[in-house]
Each structure stands twice: as C-alpha cells, then as structure tokens.
Amino acid sequence: MPRISSPAELEDIRRDVLSKRKLSKTCLTLCSGTACHATGSDRVAAAIEVELEKQGFKGEVYFRRTGCHGFCEKGPIVLVDPEEICYLQVTPEDVPEIVSQTIKEKKVIDRLLYTDPNTGERAARESDIPFYKNQERIVFGANRRIDPKSIEDYLAIGGYQALVKALFEITPEQVLEEVKEANLRGRGGGGFPAGEKWEVARNAPGEPKYVVVNCDEGDPGAYMDRSLMEGNPYGVLEGLMLGAYAIGAHEGYVYVRQEYPLALQNLGTAIKQAQEHGLLGRDILGSGFNFNVKVHRGAGAFVCGEETALLKSLEGEAGEPRPRPPYPAVKGLWGKPTCINNVETWANVPLIIHRGAQAFTSIGTEGSKGTKIFSLVGKINNTGLVEVPMGITIKDIIYKIGGGIPGGKKFKAVQTGGPSGGCIPAELLDLRVGFDELTKAGSMMGSGGMIVMDEDTCMVDVARYFINFLTDESCGKCLPCREGLRQMHKILTNITEGKGEEGDIELLEELSETAVEASLCALGKTAPNPFRSTVRYFRDEYEAHIKEKRCPALYCKELISYYIDPEKCQACGSCLRECPAEAIDGGKKMIHIVDQEKCTKCGTCFEVCPSRYSAVKKTSGEPVPPPIPEEERMIVKKSKEE
C-alpha cells in the first residue's frame, strides 16, 4: 500500500480492501491474546495453516489471528464468519474437523460450542453466549475483527474516519468541545474529565506540547489496557492523534509496561505501518498536520502509573512522583504542557469524534458516560475481559456475564480499583457501576480490575496482601507511605498469624488516616483503602482473628488445622501418599490420622481427598479433635462380617 496523501485516496484504499474481502467468503479468526497464547493458540494456528492447505482452502478462506476476545477462560477461541460460529477451547486435534465439517460442509461441531453449565443448552453463535450477550462492546469489540499487524483490517472496520473528520471537517476547538460534551472521564483510575485536562493543556503557555499514552498498567489482576494495545493499537494511536490535534501537540509518547512484550511488538508494527502509509509523520493525509510518536518501555515500577512519576521515567530518571500542582497539563514532560491519558481513554476518542458526543452519552449514568472494560477474575466461572455500559449492576456483571461463583460457593465480596481500591460486599451487589457510585461505596473504579472473592477468601489476608504490595511499590519518597504502610503491613501480618492484639484495629485506622492526609501522591493517599473498606464491611473477621484467634474463612495458615474425620475416612491412602511432610499416619484399612506436630498446613491432603469421602477437614479457633484410639482404627466392613 502506498503513502496516502488525501482523504479521497484513503477512501479508495478502504473500498479496495473491502472489495477484496468479499471474495473470500469464509473467515477464520483465532484469538491470540496473551491468555490464549498461554493455552496453546500457536499450535492451533499452525494446524489451521496446514489443514487449510491440505484440504484445498488456502487463499479461499481468510485466516486471521487477532488480539484478545475477552473470554479467556475458554481459550483458544476460533470464530467462523460470516456464520459467527464460536468454538471454544480448541486444540490442534480439532482443526481438521473444523475445516472439513464447518468450512466445507457448513456443519456445526456441537462439542466445541459453549454449553451452559446450568441448563446444558448449547450456543453456536458468539452473540448467543451469555458472556458476550450481556456486554456492550463498542471499544473492545473491534479486537476480534483486526489482525493487529494489518492496517488494512483497521481500515476495513472504518478506521481513521474520525481522524479525517477532525483534520478536514472540524477545528481543533470542535474536537475538544466534542470530547468535553461526551464527558469522557479518565479510565485509568482517577476518573478526571479528559476534556477538561485537554483544555488546560491547550491553553497552557509553552511549546512544544506533548500527548502521552499511559500503558503502565500495574494493577494486579487487570489487563484490559494490554489487550487493547495488543489487539487494536491503531485505535489507540488514532485517539492520541485526535488529542494531539485538539491541544496543538506534534509529538506523542506511549509508555508501555515492561511485562507486556506482545503489546510492545504490536504497537511497534502499527506505528511502522502508519508511518509508511502517511498516517503518522509529516503532513498527515495532506492536511498539514504533523505528528510523531515514540515508544518508551517501562522497567517495572508500579508507581510509574502515576502521571508525574511516569513523566520522570520518560525523562530517563527514577519514577518518583512530585507534588501537584502544577499539573502535567500545565508543566509536564520537560516542563512543557503535557496531556496524559490511559489506553482505554484514548481508545474511546475516535468513537466520540466519529459518532458524536450524543451517541456516546446515550450510554451510561448521570456522571459516568459510555462503557468500561473490566477484567473479571478470581473466584468466577467466566474469567475474562468484559465491556459493560456504565450503570450496570455488579450483580449482573458477576452472575449474568461472569456465570457466578465456581463450585457452588457463596459470593463474599468483589474487589475493584486495584490495590488502592476497596471491597464491595454481598449486600451491595445491586450497586450500579460508575465513578461516583463506587467511590461512595468505599472503593473506586480504578483501571477496572474486578476480583471476585468467595467464602474461602479471608478479608484480613486480602488487606494484608494489598498493603504488602503497596509497601513494596512505595517509591520511598515520603514518610507516611514509606513507614506507615510498613507498620500497617506488620500489624496485619500479626493479625493473620494469630498475634493480633486489642487495639490493633484502632492503630491501623490511625495509620490509615495519616497516610491519606499526608502522603504526596495518589499511591500513598489511597493505599489504606484495602484496609479501610475491609474493616468497614468485615470488621467481624478482624475481631475473630484478634480475639478468638480464628480465621472464619479457614484461610490463614497459622490459624487453621487439618484433621481427618474418622467417620468418613476409607483409608484410600491418597493423602498418605501425597503428603509432602509425611505427617499422615495410616495403612491398609486403617483410618488415617494427621500428626499435628509434623503438619505444615500445605493443604495437599484436603485437596487430594476424594470428594466422595471428603474426610479431610479444616478447623480454626477450636481444638483439633483428639485422634481416635489405636484399637478403633481398623475399618471393618459390616457386610463381610455377617
């Protein structure tokens, strides 16, 4: 494809791409995001190549490898279009059949379809699967239609229409107005209105101005930004260009987390292709607008997700935050006005410009417009990335889309907002998702991690986990965060180990208050949130740990014991064989006993005990029943006796 020098040429090429697409009627799409990659999509891809060739469909069937489709639980995913048939958990061995049956004979292979675990009903089309059906995938939906290495695919779905509209039909001021009217709020954590930020940057004195994509997605359990960057880097870049046009910047940076090699690779390819086609660089599409973008790899520091720390890191220094104001929009990179937004925020911009602010604001609640991508993970049946309209209830996300909790367990809480967020308990399941709604409930939107916890999750341990994470990631610049979190972690660890004392909760509350009031940046200011929200909703669990030395969730190692119920043990020997500590005493037809002295509480016996016996028990806060006397240990089957 040659360099494109006008909107008319772009449309010609788009038409050309689309007409070529019609020839190859069937399209085979394989999800190759990081999760599917880990479950073997490479081998499936190789099998597809071989099989298409072998069965004579090479060239006739369009085969495409895309970024993440979101349904990571069931990967690798293969889609057959135009019929929209969706095959899940595909192995290389399934591929010959897919080609011979579905492509050749147009027959659906039942066993590869989604089966509802409750009703047993199968769903052939992607849009019939409850996981997808209840979503609104206006941003993330493009992933499944784009090979991230092909700018043609992006053109085929209408890419760069927003850019053309901005450069040739409306002024920078109008782009800014549109984004303001859409009330697009930052998807990275704070929820600050993007339009306002842009306006400040536009009006701030100083040249040159910069635009930055924050792809330093550090929240554990959140990977939507990575998937957008991996799957559709063109969309993010188009958004960035629109932002640059609106504020008058000609240079942009993309800061990518070091742990995301595939995102880096796909972004690099996209930039190269866009440059070759004149969609980046000098005089874009003949409009006179110049824009260049550079990629910066992060080096593994959570705090760099904070905007002032990120800018320091871009300048080649240690990523330590600085006090705001001045905000980066006024004094940012190299002291110049800089507009930073996260990946998902930028990815929304082309939609707003192309379809107009009104279409965007028709979705959502009063204060939160559009959609939000969440990563739904933890104790949930359908793990994956989901894009939902703002205002949907948490219950709908967990049960309608997520398919509920595995193993018939009871839902306890959902943790949102990353390490600085909070836990939302079962009684707030009807809460509507939105920036202000979540904050009111003591949590926050954050970047969109949604970690589901069931009755086996200990909330004190969850608080300890997050405080530990943040202690580790604190840059150490200011005291309340550096030392306060360390002390909080110490106290929380004591509590989970049964060394908690009266007054610990009050002490934790005091330390929290100091960190919130006196820390320099958002990391420290929000760091006590995991403790605050868990103590708010689950104070009884804290008290049980401290007063009764009991872990109600039977999770905290130091507070639990394993024992074998003599009534249930059938002396099958599973635990005896598997116990790594040799702490189990038993033999043929002899009821097994856990030696409490030797037991390391690894839980292996609990796991390997066959569910039909369920003889291994966990207990906390009460003495372990004494082992049964030697003479009663023989299992005598009554039927044989008679």
Partner 1 sequence: MDTGKTDQIIDKHEGQASSLIQILLEIQSEYHWLPKEALERVSEKLHVPFSRVRHIATFYKAFSLVPKGRHEIHICMGTACHVRGATRILDKVQDLTGIQPGETDLDFKFSLETVNCLGCCAMGPVLEIDGQTHGKLSPAKTADVLKSFE
User: Which span (151-159, 343-351, 373-381, 544-552) binds partner 1, by CB under 8 A?
Assistant: 373-381
Tokens read off for 446: 């954050």
CB atoms within 10 A of CB 564: 26
CB nearer to partner 1: give 57 or 140: 140
Residue 468's contacts (CB-CB under 8 Å, 6 or more residues apart) are 489, 493
**What character string, x for contact with partner 1 (CB under 8 A) and - otherwise, covers 179-218?**
---------------------------------------x
User: Which span (232-240, 272-280, 315-323, 486-494) binds partner 1, by CB under 8 A?
Assistant: 315-323
- Characterise 457 by phi-psi region: left (phi > 0), alpha (psi -120 to 50), beta (else): beta
Q: Is 59 in the site for partner 1 (CB under 8 A)?
A: no
Q: Omega of the bond prior to 208 within 30 degrees of 0, cis?
A: yes
DSSP run (H or E) holding 594: strand 590-594
Q: Is 527 in the site for partner 1 (CB under 8 A)?
A: no
**Shortest Å, Cβ 206 to partner 1:** 18
CB atoms within 10 A of CB 9: 16
CB nearer to partner 1: give 183 or 474: 474
HSE toward the beta carbon, residue 350, CA cutoff 13 A: 26
CB atoms within 10 A of CB 640: 6
Q: Is 469 in the site for partner 1 (CB under 8 A)?
A: yes
Distance in angstroms (rounded) separating the CA atoms of residues 324 and 197: 14
Q: Of the candidates 288, 316, 323, 407, which one interacts with partner 1 according to CB under 8 A?
A: 316
User: Which span (257-265, 266-274, 355-363, 560-568) binds partner 1, by CB under 8 A?
Assistant: 257-265
- Provide DSSP, 104-160: IS----GGGSEE-TTT--EE-BGGGSHHHHT---TTGGGGGG--TT-HHHHHHTTTT
Q: Is 84 in the site for partner 1 (CB under 8 A)?
A: no
Distance in angstroms (rounded) separating the CA atoms of residues 537 and 472: 26
Q: Is 14 in the site for partner 1 (CB under 8 A)?
A: no
CB nearer to partner 1: give 82 or 580: 580
CB nearer to partner 1: give 150 or 214: 214
User: Which span (170-178, 285-293, 464-472, 520-528) binds partner 1, by CB under 8 A?
Assistant: 464-472
User: Which span (290-298, 343-351, 391-399, 560-568) binds partner 1, by CB under 8 A?
Assistant: 290-298
CB nearer to partner 1: give 316 or 623: 316
For residue 471, give the nearest of 459, 479, 483 by alpha carbon: 483
Q: Is 72 in the site for partner 1 (CB under 8 A)?
A: yes
What residues between 430 and 449 interact with partner 1 by CB under 8 A? 449
SS3 track for 399-457? HHHCCCCHHHCCEEEEEECHHHCEEEEHHHCCCECCHHHHHHCCCCCCCCEEEEEECCC
**Shortest Å, Cβ 601 to partner 1:** 10
Q: Rg of the chain over CA atoms, in angstroms?
A: 28
Q: Is 296 in the site for partner 1 (CB under 8 A)?
A: yes
Distance in angstroms (rounded) separating the CA atoms of residues 209 and 138: 30
Q: Is 51 in the site for partner 1 (CB under 8 A)?
A: no
Distance of CA 494 to the CA centre of its chain: 31
Q: Is 355 in the site for partner 1 (CB under 8 A)?
A: no
**Eight-class DSSP state of 627:** P
Beta strands 251-256 and 292-297: pairing type?
Answer: parallel
**Shortest Å, Cβ 623 to partner 1:** 25
Distance in angstroms (rounded) separating the CA atoms of residues 276 and 456: 54
- Provide DSSP, 190-247: T--BHHHHHHHHHHS--SS-EEEEEE----TT--HHHHHHHH-HHHHHHHHHHHHHHH
For residue 292, give the nearest of 373, 379, 358, 211 by alpha carbon: 211
Q: Is 467 in the site for partner 1 (CB under 8 A)?
A: no
**What character string, x for contact with partner 1 (CB under 8 A) and - otherwise, covers 593-612?**
---------xxx--xx----
Q: Of the candidates 49, 317, 366, 622, which one interacts with partner 1 according to CB under 8 A?
A: 317
Q: Is 299 in the site for partner 1 (CB under 8 A)?
A: yes
CB nearer to partner 1: give 78 or 285: 78
**What character string, x for contact with partner 1 (CB under 8 A) and - otherwise, covers 24-43?**
----------xx-xxx----
Q: Of the candidates 97, 196, 396, 578, which one interacts with partner 1 according to CB under 8 A?
A: 578
CB nearer to partner 1: give 265 or 287: 265
Distance of CA 522 to the CA centre of its chain: 21
**Shortest Å, Cβ 164 to partner 1:** 34
String of b and e for 265-304 (b: at least 16 CB within 10 Å)?
Answer: ebbeebbebbeebbbbeeebbbbebebebebbebeebbbb
User: Which span (105-113, 450-458, 482-490, 502-510) binds partner 1, by CB under 8 A?
Assistant: 450-458
**Shortest Å, Cβ 76 to partner 1:** 12
CB nearer to partner 1: give 298 or 364: 298
**Shortest Å, Cβ 300 to partner 1:** 3
Q: Is 415 in the site for partner 1 (CB under 8 A)?
A: yes
Q: Is 46 in the site for partner 1 (CB under 8 A)?
A: no
Q: Is 221 in the site for partner 1 (CB under 8 A)?
A: yes
Q: Is 313 in the site for partner 1 (CB under 8 A)?
A: yes
HSE toward the beta carbon, residue 473, CA cutoff 13 A: 26
CB nearer to partner 1: give 39 or 345: 39
Q: Is 318 in the site for partner 1 (CB under 8 A)?
A: yes
Residue 83's contacts (CB-CB under 8 Å, 6 or more residues apart) are 106, 125
**Shortest Å, Cβ 221 to partner 1:** 4
Tokens read off for 469: 């994470």
Q: Is 301 in the site for partner 1 (CB under 8 A)?
A: yes
**Shortest Å, Cβ 491 to partner 1:** 19
Q: Omega of the bond prior to 148 within 30 degrees of 0, cis?
A: no
Determine the size of the site formed for partner 1 (CB under 8 A).
57
For residue 148, give the nearest of 80, 233, 79, 81 by alpha carbon: 233
Write out the residues near partner 1 by the rule CB under 8 A.
34-35, 37-39, 72-73, 75, 218-223, 226-227, 258-260, 296-302, 313-319, 375, 377-379, 383-384, 415, 419, 449, 451, 453, 457, 462, 465-466, 469, 475, 578, 580, 602-604, 607-608
